[in-house]
Structure 1
Amino acid sequence: MLSINNLSFYFGSRPMYDGANLHIKPKDKIGLIGANGTGKSTLLRIIDGEYLPDGGSISKSGDCTIGFLNQDLLSYQSDDSILSVAMQAFERQNFLQAEIDKVLHKMETNFEDDDVNKLARFQDEFDALGGYTIQSEAEAILEGLGFSTDDLSQPLQKFSGGWRMRVMLAKLLLQRPSLLMLDEPTNHLDLPSIEWVENYINTYEGAIIVVSHDRFFLDNTVTTIVEVAGAKLIPYSGNYSFYMEEKALRNEVQKGAYENQQQAIKQTEKFITRFKAKATKARQVQSRVKALERLELIDDVLDENAKVNFKFNFGTQPGRFIMHLEDITKAYGPKRILTSTNAVIERGDKIALIGANGKGKSTVLRIIDGSEQFEGERKLGHNVIDSFYAQHQLESLDVNNTLLDELKMTGTGKLETELRSILGCFLFSGDDAFKKIKVLSGGEKSRVALAKVLISEANFLLLDEPTNHLDMMSVNILIQALQQYEGTYVVVSHDRFFVSEIANKIWYIEDEEIKVYPGTYDEYETWMEQRRIDGTLPKEGSPKKTVEKVVEKKPVLDDFAKKEAQKNLKKLNLKLTDAESLIAKLEAEKVEKEKTLADPITFNNADTLKKENIAYQKILNSLEEANDTWEAVMLEIEETESVLQ
């Protein structure tokens, strides 16, 4: 159907493709993957004809039609309704409908046989092209992508870029091109819409090429992975999971071949060095020199599984409870998001807030952050220091700063060597540290903003769609960073693989309330599937059940009891201060003792080492006791404050 032969394409002097080949057959489902900047989107634009190749050719069959969903469509605006925009896909049917309307209007005042024949021809063709069902088909696809029935009559320009992208996707799906090309389609879709698109792709009659960083999406939709690497297109027959296994095997073989070749080169070079001065060996030496010149070198295997290995420190330990949300109500005009809902975030919670767009996930994050107005009470716990990451924060990066300067602005006091090490963990190596923010891509800016959040020494993180614009390697880095983070966080994400790796608790919004599933995403999915089978899952748009809430009455304190409680609270706060001072003192002693133990003089003297180890263990025991005391006092303070409120 479409063939890419010996393709070459350059950006300046840099080869994006050099002798690349790919053959796309009807009904192929291809996932195009590779690191940011390797040219995935560029390839789609070359196939679409937007870019002309510098060498090679792209040939396609005469009946091959191409549909391309790209990020440029985010800026498309129109006063037409979203249903009308989507139905622009039916060019011939729309033309016929307009002609039928003209003939019918004319026949109201001037009835002629020629018009009757013309009307019959138009109606027959319109019927053959399915014209009488195109509106219901467009409505079904738009609603599958998350639009409500009421939304369909609203003008396109009323919607945000992400929702406009869905309309353009609907239009593309309705056109049914023989080759459908999708560039990061899941970036602007929520979980229900992603699942709907997966089902649609699985039944799609044409061929598909999709660029995506969503592993689950690729596993569920494609049958071939094509990797862009080394300016070539490397195919793997299978989904993403198969690719990972096959790539590991290929890398193992390539690594062995590389090491064998390097060993052979060293032996040859030794021979040349040893005998180049001997006339009797001149011919053999020359032969080996020419052999080395002709040798096609095997590349070493690049480690694409970058490891994050630095400690995320925060100097202040929070109390047991990070936040209480009590009786929270939030609405935007007639649209109600939350009604009298409650939620608790405890220290160590790794919460993923998931669900459909429009349910209020980002709103909940802003309520937790304190930047959104609402009815009810938001109680921040003791010693909580939060940091909020959202896409709009990319705009707050100083474009004239270098990466290094931008990280210094977090005020952590880290040394330049530490900051450069952190940048290295986020795939910025060497002189990248001195690049200006203004020259970075969207994905690179996301990595810088995330690095700033993670080193801010906050003990409570709020992350809104952190994986948007990140490639798979960068997502893997973020997963490792969050797995090592010892604080508490709430993450909004539609990336199911990401959520399954980083969450120990799931929040979702149902019946205008924050609901909690106390387990991993995989366990949550199993539980939700069982709810669907059992019929206990509420249908979308179903009326909320009215439940009488039992309000536990707090004991009313008389004046004497209140004064006593206040006195007790003061004593407890003094105890807490003493406990914190003791913890700080013991932690300082622990650091000093660790330096002593690491000293070679101590290490090489068995008696001294034994004594220092005993002393070190005593400090650890005392530190554990002090932390237990701190936590017990903190719980008493929280209980006393609750009684006094």
Structure 2
Amino acid sequence: MIRLDNISKHNGQRLIFIEASAALQKGEKIGLVGPNGAGKTTLFRMITGQEEPDEGQILVDRGVSIGFFSQDVGEMEGRSAVAEVMNGAGAVAELAAELTILEADMADPEKFDRLEEIIERFGEVQARFEELGGYGLEGRAREVLDGLGFSQEMMDGDVGRLSGGWKMRVALGRILLMRPDVMLLDEPSNHLDLESLIWLEQFLSGYDGALLMTSHDRAFMNRIINKVIEIDGGNLTSYSGDYEFYEQQRAQNEKQQQAQFERQQAMLAKEVNFIQRFKARASHAAQVQSRVKKLEKIDRVEPPKRRQTLSFDLPTAPRSGDVVANLRSVDKNYGSRVIYQGLDLLIRRQERCCILGVNGAGKSTLLKLVTGTTEPDSGSVTLGGSVKMGYFAQHAMDVLDGDRTVFETLNDAFPLASQGSLRALAGGFGFSGDEIDKTCRVLSGGEKARLVMALMLYDPPNFLVLDEPTNHLDIATKEMLIGALAQYEGTMLFVSHDRHFLGALSNRVLELTPEGIHQYGGGYTEYVARTGREAPGLHA
């Protein structure tokens, strides 16, 4: 369906692709992976014709329709979310627009002399519209928006009043309703809650077209894809299988390449040693010459490319008292909407509580109550003895000073720390080399999140409260964070839609329901096993 044939591409001085080839066939669901800046978004833009390769060509089969979802959703306003989604539904949306015009033309007295022609065209368009399922289009649009977490009120309200994250869902809904032959999805799992994520997973698993997508959510990708294309060092390498298989295969290939490299290096050293020893002896001249020629003809094995692995050893947090937070008879309302009534909750030392609940259940509100950023309407919230809290809020990145560099930001926070330890801290969170001199203004969302995490964990609190800490983080950074927090001896209270993160770090689940908090010991994995569902909004 789509073929990339020996493509090369530069971005300024930087080489992104060099004679790279790959293909997307009918029915394939491909995960596009590679380090940040490897060229994943550039590849999408070349397939959709927004950019051209410098060399080589991209071939798309005749008649193949492509739907592209990117993080840049553009302006949206003046229409309802339903209308916005329907407007992107390809040919059927164009036919709907033409039907509206033809209906107006039939009622226009000034076009009465063309009435027969208009009626004939109306009949043709209506037949084609019906054939494409046009009359069920609104119902399907509402179904898609419902799956993506929209209430009826949000579906019918002006899309311009929605936040950026919800507009992203509208843009994604447009592509899903269109059901093109090929879907290109750049980070579709961003900005989705757990229920919407699982709904999208099921939708894409049942989609019969071809799919090429990027995602920082390994569980999401693992359940959908049947092939991986890796971008690394300008090359495209294909692996059959899911993300887990790709990781195993890549590690095995690296191991084999390293072994081949070491064997060849040992052989080369032996040959060079022989040449050095006997090059001055006339009796060995023929042998020496023969070995020199042999060395010149050998194809050199390259050592495997080493991915930058992030690691951060979390310093030991000071010990808190056994009771970390205590909520008693807490009521909280927003206007006429009751969020909590008579809430009692006790959080003890070394508990890692993850909070689950449908949209609007009060997950972020609970974190705000515990951290004191929101006051209860009645009841009490108290922290235990010797509790030192760190709070990562969804807007935490807004507090960074855009004019300060990464290093200056760390130095401002820890003026007594040595330059070496701050550079090591920055490196552990993915800021190596010149990246430490970037100003906060030019950082991506993921880079800002990493910097805020570094600020919070260098001198670690003994109570971490985290609201969607993995948003914007790539897979490598998430793995580093999970590794660091797995060793953490303090207490955690967190919300996340990343199932790998939830499963790896929680030892207690707080499920928010209209009847109150249901509590489960044993963490997210045990919650799934006991309830038969991965999120509260799903039926077992």
Taking structure 2 as the reference length, the TM-score comes to 0.91
1:65-144 mapped onto 2 (5 Å cutoff) = 65-73=65-73, 75-88=74-87, 89=89, 90-103=92-105, 105-106=107-108, 116-144=119-147
SS of the residue 1:188 aligns to: coil
| Inter-CA distance 538–204: structure 2 relative to 1 (3 Å threshold) | closer
Decide whether the 8 Å contact of 2:69 with 2:172 is kept in 1: yes
Partner Cα distance (2:43, 2:420) in 1: 38
Decide whether the 8 Å contact of 1:460 with 1:489 is kept in 2: yes
Matched, 1:494 2:497: yes
Deviations 1:263-318 (A, max 9, x none): 12322332343344556656655665565555443332355483636242334x22
Aligned match of 2:219: 216
Deviation for aligned residue 1:440: 3.8
Looking at CA atoms only, which structure, 1 or 2, has the larger radius of gyration? 1
Deviation for aligned residue 1:434: 4.6
Aligned match of 1:557: none
Partner Cα distance (1:538, 1:240) in 2: 27
Deviations 1:365-392 (A, max 9, x none): 2221111233132111111111111343
Deviating more after overlay: 95-104 vs 35-44? 95-104
Deviation for aligned residue 1:176: 1.7
Deviation for aligned residue 1:323: 0.8
| Inter-CA distance 249–314: structure 2 relative to 1 (3 Å threshold) | closer
| Inter-CA distance 110–433: structure 2 relative to 1 (3 Å threshold) | closer
What is the Cα-based RMSD across aligned positions, in Å?
2.7
Partner Cα distance (1:236, 1:349) in 2: 40
Deviations 1:106-138 (A, max 9, x none): 489979655554443343233222221111111
| Inter-CA distance 295–328: structure 2 relative to 1 (3 Å threshold) | farther
Which of 153, 163, 166 in structure 1 is aligned with 2:166? 163
Letter in 1 for 2:450: R
Partner Cα distance (2:384, 2:456) in 1: 20
Matched, 1:443 2:446: yes
Letter in 2 for 1:378: V
SS of the residue 1:132 aligns to: helix
| Inter-CA distance 539–18: structure 2 relative to 1 (3 Å threshold) | closer
Partner Cα distance (1:539, 1:473) in 2: 29
Uncovered stretches (5+) of structure 2, i.e. residues with no partner: none
Aligned match of 1:16: 16
> Which has the larger share of helix?
1
Partner Cα distance (2:299, 2:448) in 1: 38
Partner Cα distance (1:383, 1:516) in 2: 26
| Inter-CA distance 477–302: structure 2 relative to 1 (3 Å threshold) | farther
Partner Cα distance (1:325, 1:435) in 2: 42
Which of 318, 323, 339 in structure 2 is aligned with 1:337? 339
Identity of aligned residues (%): 36
Partner Cα distance (2:184, 2:534) in 1: 35
Q: Which one scores higher on RCO, CA 8 angstroms, separation ≥ 6? A: 2
| Inter-CA distance 307–176: structure 2 relative to 1 (3 Å threshold) | closer
Partner Cα distance (2:538, 2:446) in 1: 37
Matched, 1:517 2:520: yes
Partner Cα distance (1:441, 1:267) in 2: 49
| Inter-CA distance 80–522: structure 2 relative to 1 (3 Å threshold) | same
Deviations 1:435-468 (A, max 9, x none): 5444543322322211111113311111122212
Partner Cα distance (2:291, 2:365) in 1: 70
Deviation for aligned residue 1:499: 1.1
Decide whether the 8 Å contact of 2:3 with 2:60 is kept in 1: yes
1:53-68 mapped onto 2 (5 Å cutoff) = 53-68=53-68
Decide whether the 8 Å contact of 1:337 with 1:512 is kept in 2: no
Partner Cα distance (1:531, 1:475) in 2: 20
Aligned match of 2:456: 453
Which of 384, 408, 411 in structure 2 is aligned with 1:408? 411
Letter in 2 for 1:79: G
| Inter-CA distance 118–411: structure 2 relative to 1 (3 Å threshold) | closer
Deviation for aligned residue 1:220: 1.0
Partner Cα distance (1:172, 1:349) in 2: 41
Matched, 1:485 2:488: yes
- How many aligned positions are there? 534
Deviations 1:226-246 (A, max 9, x none): 111121111111111211222
Which of 243, 247, 252 in structure 2 is aligned with 1:244? 247
Partner Cα distance (1:14, 1:231) in 2: 10
Deviating more after overlay: 516-525 vs 161-170? 516-525
Decide whether the 8 Å contact of 2:310 with 2:430 is kept in 1: no
Matched, 1:507 2:510: yes
Partner Cα distance (1:69, 1:292) in 2: 51
| Inter-CA distance 165–433: structure 2 relative to 1 (3 Å threshold) | closer
1:192-211 mapped onto 2 (5 Å cutoff) = 192-211=195-214
1:226-375 mapped onto 2 (5 Å cutoff) = 226-278=229-281, 285=288, 288=291, 292=295, 295-304=298-307, 306=309, 308=311, 310-315=313-318, 317-375=319-377
Decide whether the 8 Å contact of 1:141 with 1:170 is kept in 2: yes
Deviating more after overlay: 324-333 vs 459-468? 324-333
| Inter-CA distance 269–87: structure 2 relative to 1 (3 Å threshold) | same
SS of the residue 1:187 aligns to: coil
Deviation for aligned residue 1:487: 0.9
Deviation for aligned residue 1:185: 0.8
SS of the residue 1:15 aligns to: strand
